[in-house]
C-alpha cells in the first residue's frame, strides 16, 4: 500500500466546463479539485467537449471537438432550460447532435480514441454529461473508472425526470468501479433511486477557493438598504419561489430591505411576475447571470445570503459567501449543511421560519457578527486540499485492487 501512496497517479478526467467558461458550480468544482490534485503531485489530462481559449499550467487540456464533429454551441450549457431546448431544436443542425443529450453522446463517441492516445492510470468522469465518455474510455483501455455525482436528475427536476438522463446516470454508476458523491445526502439518493451498492460509494465533500478580486467600492444600494441575496440558477431545484414568498413576509415587517436575485433560469419569468403580483417588484432586483468580481461584489454587498434549495447535493456558494464575510441561511436539504455549522438552517418549505431568520439577521447585529466571524473561521478549514487527498486515496485503492 505504501508504494501506491507515494506514486504519481496519472488521471484522465472527463469534464464539461471550466471557469471562466462555466455555467454553474460543476466547472468551479472541477477547477478547484484538479488544481489541488496537481499541487499534490498528480498528473491530470482534462478532457472538455468544446475547444476554449484556456491555458492552465497545472494540467493538460484535451478537446473532444473535431473539425468533422464540432460541438453545437446551442447545447454547450448543461443547465439549458426546457424552453431553451425547444427553441434551440428549431434551428438547423449540420450533424446528428441536435440536443444536449446528443452532444453528450457525440462527446462519448470520441472518448475511446482520446483514451487510447493518452498515458494514464485511472479515469475520472464528472456527472451525467461525461459518464458515457468515461465508459467508452474504460472499454477502450480497460482502466478503472470513477464517476463523481455532483447532482442527480432527481435534484434538478424534483422527481419529474428526463428518462434518458436518468438512464445515462444509472448506466454510468453501474459501470463505474467506484462512485463518488459530494455528500451523504447525495449518497442516500444514489442508493435509493439508482440501486447502487452503498459499499461502492465514497463521499468526498467539496471545498472552496479563497479568491479575492479586490472589490472595494459597493453600490449606492447598500447605503440605502439592507440587502438579502439569492445567487444561483433560477430553477426549481434552487427554490427561488420560496425566496420570493419569504421576501413578501419580510417586507410586510420591514421596509428598508432590497432582495437581489442574481442568476438566470427557466423560473425567472415566474419570479418577476410573482414579485409584481405580491406588490414587491420595487424591492426585488434581478441582475442576470454574474461572474468573477461581480459575484464577489454581490456577496460583499449582501447582509445575508439565502440558499432555499429544494434539493442541493452539496452547494459551494454558501462557502463562498461565508468566505467573503456574509452570513448564510441554508436549506437543511443541502449537502453543504453536513460540513458547516455556523449558519442558520431551515427547511426549504418553511417560508415563515425563513422570513423570521432573515429578519433576525437584519435586526440583530450581534447575531450577524457572530455568524460572520465563526463562519469564516470554520470555512477557512474547508479547502480543496482534503477532497483532493480523499480522491488520491480512492485512486490508490483502485490501483491496488487492479494490481
Residue 351: pLDDT over 70: yes
Give the range among 34-43, 204-213, 226-235, 247-256 with minimum mean pLDDT. Answer: 204-213
pLDDT at 153: 92
Q: How far is CA 266 from the centre of its chain?
A: 17
Residue 2: pLDDT over 50: no
DSSP one-letter string for 210-252: ----------HHHHH-EEEEEES--SGGG-HHHHHHHHHHHHH
Dist CA 249 CA 306 (whole Å): 15
Give the range among 26-40, 80-94, 322-336 with minimum mean pLDDT. Answer: 80-94
pLDDT bracket for residue 4 (50, 70, 90): very low
250-294 residue pLDDT tens: 999 999 999 999 999 999 999 999 999 999 999 999 999 888 788
Residue 98: pLDDT over 50: no
For the chain, list the domains and their CATH numbers: 2-207+383-402 (3.40.50.2000), 220-379 (3.40.50.2000)
119-138 residue pLDDT tens: 999 999 999 999 999 999 99
In the chain, the percentage of residues whose pLDDT exceeds 90 is 69
Q: How far is CA 240 from the centre of its chain?
A: 16
Q: Report the mean per-residue pLDDT for the chain.
A: 88
Residue 342: pLDDT over 60: yes
For residues 258 and 285, is the Cβ–Cβ distance under 8 A? yes
For residues 228 and 360, is the Cβ–Cβ distance under 8 A? no
Grid cell locating 392: 488520491
List, in sequence order, the alpha helices (H) in 263-316: 268-277, 292-301
pLDDT at 238: 93
Taking CA atoms, 362 is separated from 256, 303, 326, 329, 372, in Å, by 10, 7, 12, 12, 13
- The whole-number average pLDDT for the span 307-328 is 91
Give burial (CB, 10 Å; 0-12/13-18/19+) of 200.
middle
pLDDT at 208: 87
The answer for residues whose C-beta is within 8 angstroms of residue 28's C-beta and 6 or more apart is 19, 22, 209, 316
Cell 449518497, residue located: 187
71-85 residue pLDDT tens: 555 445 555 444 444
- The whole-number average pLDDT for the span 241-257 is 96
pLDDT bracket for residue 327 (50, 70, 90): very high
Amino acid at each position: 500500500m505504501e508504494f501506491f501512496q507515494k506514486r504519481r497517479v496519472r488521471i484522465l478526467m472527463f469534464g464539461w466546463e471550466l471557469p471562466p467558461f462555466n455555467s454553474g458550480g460543476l466547472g468551479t468544482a472541477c477547477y478547484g479539485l484538479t488544481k489541488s490534485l496537481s499541487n499534490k503531485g498528480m498528473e491530470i489530462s482534462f478532457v472538455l467537449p468544446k475547444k476554449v481559449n484556456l491555458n492552465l499550467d497545472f494540467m493538460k487540456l484535451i478537446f473532444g471537438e473535431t473539425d468533422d464533429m464540432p460541438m453545437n454551441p446551442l447545447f454547450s450549457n448543461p443547465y439549458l432550460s426546457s424552453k431553451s431546448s425547444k427553441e434551440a431544436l428549431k434551428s438547423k443542425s449540420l450533424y446528428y447532435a441536435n440536443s444536449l443529450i446528443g452532444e453528450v453522446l457525440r462527446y462519448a463517441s470520441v472518448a475511446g480514441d482520446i483514451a487510447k492516445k493518452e498515458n494514464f492510470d485511472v479515469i475520472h468522469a464528472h456527472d451525467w454529461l461525461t459518464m458515457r465518455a468515461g465508459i467508452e474510455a474504460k472499454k477502450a483501455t480497460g482502466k478503472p473508472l470513477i464517476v463523481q455525482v455532483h447532482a442527480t436528475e432527481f435534484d434538478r427536476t424534483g422527481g419529474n425526470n428526463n428518462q434518458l438522463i436518468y438512464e445515462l446516470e444509472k448506466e454510468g454508476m453501474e459501470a463505474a468501479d467506484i462512485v463518488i458523491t459530494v455528500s451523504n445526502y447525495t449518497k442516500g439518493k444514489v442508493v435509493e433511486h439508482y440501486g447502487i451498492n452503498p459499499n461502492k460509494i465514497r463521499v468526498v465533500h467539496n471545498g472552496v477557493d479563497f479568491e479575492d478580486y479586490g472589490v472595494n467600492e459597493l453600490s449606492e444600494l447598500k447605503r440605502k438598504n439592507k440587502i438579502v441575496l439569492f445567487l444561483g440558477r433560477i430553477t426549481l431545484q434552487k427554490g427561488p419561489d420560496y425566496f420570493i414568498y419569504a421576501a413578501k413576509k419580510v417586507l410586510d415587517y420591514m421596509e428598508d430591505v432590497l432582495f437581489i436575485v442574481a442568476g438566470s433560469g427557466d423560473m425567472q419569468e415566474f419570479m418577476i411576475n410573482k414579485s409584481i403580483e405580491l406588490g414587491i417588484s420595487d424591492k426585488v432586483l434581478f441582475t442576470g447571470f454574474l461572474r468573477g468580481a461581480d459575484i464577489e461584489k454581490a456577496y460583499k454587498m449582501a447582509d445575508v445570503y439565502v440558499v432555499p434549495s429544494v434539493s442541493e447535493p452539496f452547494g459551494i456558494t454558501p462557502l463562498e459567501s461565508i468566505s467573503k464575510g456574509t452570513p448564510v441561511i441554508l436549506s437543511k436539504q443541502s449537502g453543504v449543511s453536513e460540513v458547516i455549522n455556523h449558519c442558520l438552517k431551515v427547511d426549504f418549505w418553511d417560508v415563515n421560519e425563513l422570513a423570521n431568520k432573515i429578519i433576525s439577521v437584519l435586526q440583530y447585529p450581534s447575531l450577524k457578527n457572530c455568524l460572520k466571524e465563526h463562519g469564516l473561521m470554520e470555512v477557512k478549514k474547508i479547502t480543496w486540499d482534503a477532497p483532493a487527498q480523499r480522491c488520491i486515496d480512492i485512486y490508490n485503492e483502485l490501483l491496488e485492487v487492479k494490481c
